[in-house]
Amino acid sequence: MNNEEAKKLLRVAIQKYRDKTYSELELLVESDLKLQHSHHEEIKIKNSAQYQIQITAIWDDKKKKNIRVIGTIDDGGWRAFIPLTEDFIVNKNGEYIDE
């Protein structure tokens, strides 16, 4: 797996969720009975590389104030056991936490 290529793809995928408002993320999380939202996609690159991206949005605390969005990417090989990850936490004010 080309780590730099994979990181770029993951950043693009997770940016779509960073562009959402807190309210939009809250609707995604609450729309599922498991209180999480999951999105999976596979991307094929010209050089025949194939990546799997998983984006998950969950409540980060028991009081349901902060939402954590976690993105992972792997190539279906050994990297599936230890995927590259990127995440962020956003509060009700739309502020990112720990950044």
Structurally, the chain folds into a number of domains equal to 1
Mean pLDDT by 10 residues, the chain (99 residues): 92 96 91 70 82 93 90 91 95 90
Reading the block at residue 15, the tokens are: 């940016």
Output phi, psi for 75, to 5 deg: -110, 10
- pLDDT score for 41: 85
Give this prediction's pTM: 0.86
Scanning the chain, the segments in alpha helix (DSSP H) are 3-18, 22-30
For residue 28, the SS3 value is: helix
Predicted local confidence at residue 44, as pLDDT: 84
Model pLDDT, residue 61 = 85
Identify the domain containing residue 17 by its residue range.
3-97
